[in-house]
Structure 1
């Protein structure tokens, strides 16, 4: 048996130290019972694929990754190694993109989402963010989306009004009582965060289905309407008119995620009973507001992408709508691979090939990441079964080409949501040789500036006190709103209880009326029973008399038979009514004569 070892080495070329390669990780799915595995682990970074073809030759192909997670690796290990560094960058104002890729049924959704007791990357990221910033969150509605991929700082009055509107909306939807899925919190947090900054977290969730973008959190549209992609003022791509909600806890984020999961497109195929038919993207944006200047915002974004699995029609046997969906999924994945191949060739050979970002919504949406707007990581999920061998090789080729792509290292950038006055010190004023009058004027100007600086300092303390007072007012107003809400709830409950009491009272009166009718019927039945008893007694008496007569008649007949005397019916009747029978008198007289 011939063994052919083919080891793929990474290309060695001079790279810019300011560029970071796309980090590609691999995770192996546990093989099923009685299933032959086609891959084996050579080292923590090298994976070998082995198969036997028709010529009885064993081929072994080696692939290298940043790190390989075996089938025994836990969800927490994957999170710590892959996603935790992204969260550290996220809270420092840097962007990140993490997506899972692999054959259908290879465990991509499990790696990214997990379940209640064994949460995946997404739940752990949300828990870690709020475990870290829970004590440093900005007031609700203080930071608001401007609907153009940016944010703005609202006044206290506008923030209070928006918060009251949200409370009213939440009170109207509180009756639904959804039993949403939650995830276990292990208490992980980021240690090194800026405690002098206020944080706000915004979440959006959408999917790319048949090369169209659909918002999974949009409740206003009765029918699904596709969204369009646009560029903001900083040439960054975003989904126009997407619902982006501010969340203050992990539970609120999970509620939105579960709502989107119910609307996500899935299908039942031969290979996977719950197959994702779309690419789903969960965006987590963290907005930081420095306390020094309330108009400078630091915006960072973490995009978690669950790519739909690549499929082969001869295996899935899809037809109709499933076949159309599979075609769109494969086309978008091919566009992603083409963009990465062109990027790699441009970076390694110095070519100037066009990168076709616009060939797919998926590649157009993440164009900014590949152009240096954030860190990119990918988890390749592998099902080591022999049936997936050929498709796994295509996935490995894609992962190999992705590792050679270099992305410019992103830096934290502040954006301004309004004018922020800059403080100028006297040391920054250049010294100029002037006449005595000018020097005197400058001294007066300097004194005036000092006085103004002192006034600004005092004004700043007053403004801080005013801000604290306004915050207390907002808290009191919120308590008042909650009190009114509780009062309305109590009134509703009281009305319900009063209605219940009226219903019970009416039922009681009805029951009393029915009881009186029952008593009357009972008396009538008792009278009928008494009358029937009298009738029965009379009947019994007649029956008894009849029986006595029958007994006497039979006795008389026996006597007559003994005497051989036959009585006429008239004599029998006379004897029964008390008239003595002549024959009987004669018989008695004859007896006395004989004596």
Structure 2
């Protein structure tokens, strides 16, 4: 079990030249936790509750400034989580921030250059690279891609996604089992044997995402998306299977509806996005309070799906994406405040091991058969069906190897089947009778051989006769001596019996 708080990182998006740069500073003292200080301009201070405050300071595990590339982000944030997933622990990485702050670029990446690949494609490459190196373990990789749009779940890997309107697609629903484990109905799992297959699934899902143009971002993602990698591993001959899942989450933009300047369908989308993020914040706040007994996971679909990731069996990492332009200072401060609350949550990641159900069934069937055989021995009931020729031949081979084995500790293991036990005894009896017949013929042949030999010489015959006479004399002497001793003991006992009593 690994107990640790959710790891939080900050990434600052490069500033567009046309926009005015906000004032911020990053303190990366090796002795202290890295901190980000944001300076509030005087002309924006009126919008805050405490308008006298001029700077805000927030602590993170690490802060990546505008010059950080995608490789650096993966190596420091995603790679440790991917390694824990390969070891059998659940993992989650989610990006949080306002529209246009770089969440999708961080999680999925850009399409223009190969070096712009995000966390998802780089993680897939790393995982399959590690799987190829480990030839001693059997791995199974499956992919799912869930979209939560207007508080309804949709399968981004559904082949009907492009041909049908969103309302016509089957909705993904959440239900709990008695052990409070979350299951997603109508969400397909696609097996990926290679990195190429997994990347094709990612491309298909990204093509189906709900994207629209807003004043904040020309290609704003209007939904929350969860790309999941389900990894199963098993060593040959072992009954233990490890299951681990990695959620890579791209949340929709977290900005105020009034600031977006949208209406109609986009306004409805923004309301749902903010509502689900509000419920996510409620869960975060409830988890950070020590004596809180109820955690409102069921308020939204996203918090239900991420139940394990927030305060459960998971190693979770959050990336706060920040657009520190002057006009976005208030949203950036709100994002950093949310990250500070997330950092208070503790997760307990447990190694996910279980017995393979198929091997368990085989083991139980064998145990049932052994119990039936044992019961048959106790009750004396035998099976009516006869043993096959192959079974009889196998038994005879076992008996032969048992008889030829010189080890005194060797045992004849034929199970508890009474039919096999009886056949073993019959076969041993047959072998013994064959040996007796063969032994008689050997004795008779020896006698014949002796008859063919020359008669004993006279001197040898005389020696044997004298030796026999000597043994007879010794026996007679010993017998006589033994009789005399017994008579003396009887007389002595009689004399003692006639002595007068004193």
Fold equivalence (TM over 0.5): yes
1:73 aligns with 2:80: no
Q: State the distance in 1 between where 2:97 and 2:212 align.
A: 17
Give the superposition deviation at 1:261: 1.2
After superposition, the Cα gap between the structure-2 partners of 1:286 and 1:18, relative to the gap in structure 1 and judged at 3 Å, is: closer
Matches within 5 A, 1:204-243: 204-220=144-160, 222=164, 223-232=168-177, 235-243=180-188
1:416 aligns with 2:346: no
Runs (5+) with no aligned partner, structure 2: 46-50, 367-406, 417-502
Q: State the distance in 1 between where 2:15 and 2:235 align.
A: 50
2:395 aligned residue: none
| Aligned mate of 2:222, from 277, 280, 285 | 277
What's the secondary structure of 1:302's corresponding residue?
Answer: strand
Contact 1:111/1:120 (<8 A) preserved: yes
What's the secondary structure of 2:40's corresponding residue?
Answer: strand
What's the secondary structure of 2:254's corresponding residue?
Answer: coil
2:121 aligned residue: 123
| Aligned mate of 1:338, from 282, 288, 294 | 282
Q: State the distance in 2 between where 1:422 and 1:448 align.
A: 22
Q: What is the CA deviation profile of residues 537-568 of structure 1, one whole-angstrom value per residue up to 9, with x for unaligned ones?
A: xxxxxxxxxxxxxxxxxxxxxxxxxxxxxxxx
1:64 aligns with 2:9: no
Q: What is the CA deviation profile of residues 102-135 of structure 1, one whole-angstrom value per residue up to 9, with x for unaligned ones?
A: 0110001111111341211111100111111125
1:366 aligns with 2:306: yes
Q: TM-score, normalized by length of structure 2?
A: 0.66
Equivalent residues, number: 355
Matches within 5 A, 1:537-552: none
Contact 1:46/1:64 (<8 A) preserved: yes
Which stretch of the first structure deviates more once superposed, 205-214 or 44-53? Answer: 44-53
2:37 aligned residue: 48
Matches within 5 A, 1:322-333: 322-333=266-277
Runs (5+) with no aligned partner, structure 1: 1-16, 137-194, 425-442, 453-595
Q: What is the CA deviation profile of residues 217-271 of structure 1, one whole-angstrom value per residue up to 9, with x for unaligned ones?
A: 1114743221111235753213112111111111111111111111110111001
Matches within 5 A, 1:91-240: 91-115=86-110, 116-118=113-115, 119-134=117-132, 195-220=135-160, 222=164, 223-232=168-177, 235-240=180-185
Q: State the distance in 2 between where 1:338 and 1:233 align.
A: 25
2:13 aligned residue: 29
| Aligned mate of 1:447, from 411, 416, 422 | 411
| Aligned mate of 1:253, from 177, 198, 201 | 198
Give the superposition deviation at 1:411: 2.0
What's the secondary structure of 1:372's corresponding residue?
Answer: coil
Give the superposition deviation at 1:368: 2.0
Contact 1:207/1:264 (<8 A) preserved: yes
Q: State the distance in 2 between where 1:18 and 1:109 align.
A: 29
What's the secondary structure of 1:367's corresponding residue?
Answer: coil
What's the secondary structure of 2:215's corresponding residue?
Answer: coil
What's the secondary structure of 1:419's corresponding residue?
Answer: helix
Q: State the distance in 2 between where 1:18 and 1:289 align.
A: 22
| Aligned mate of 2:213, from 241, 262, 268 | 268
Q: TM-score, normalized by length of structure 1?
A: 0.56
What's the secondary structure of 1:330's corresponding residue?
Answer: helix
Contact 1:93/1:300 (<8 A) preserved: yes
After superposition, the Cα gap between the structure-2 partners of 1:345 and 1:112, relative to the gap in structure 1 and judged at 3 Å, is: same
RMSD: 2.6
Contact 2:2/2:350 (<8 A) preserved: no
1:316 aligns with 2:260: yes
Q: What is the CA deviation profile of residues 16-43 of structure 1, one whole-angstrom value per residue up to 9, with x for unaligned ones?
A: x952100000000011215222322122
Contact 1:95/1:375 (<8 A) preserved: yes
Q: State the distance in 2 between where 1:249 and 1:104 align.
A: 33
What's the secondary structure of 1:373's corresponding residue?
Answer: coil
Give the superposition deviation at 1:449: 4.5
Contact 1:296/1:417 (<8 A) preserved: no
Contact 2:95/2:249 (<8 A) preserved: yes
Give the superposition deviation at 1:297: 2.2
Contact 1:214/1:224 (<8 A) preserved: yes
1:383 aligns with 2:323: yes
Contact 1:31/1:385 (<8 A) preserved: yes
Give the superposition deviation at 1:289: 1.9
Q: State the distance in 1 between where 2:125 and 2:273 align.
A: 31
After superposition, the Cα gap between the structure-2 partners of 1:447 and 1:249, relative to the gap in structure 1 and judged at 3 Å, is: same
Q: What is the CA deviation profile of residues 74-113 of structure 1, one whole-angstrom value per residue up to 9, with x for unaligned ones?
A: 1111111111111111111111010000011000111111
Contact 1:50/1:58 (<8 A) preserved: no
Give the superposition deviation at 1:343: 0.8
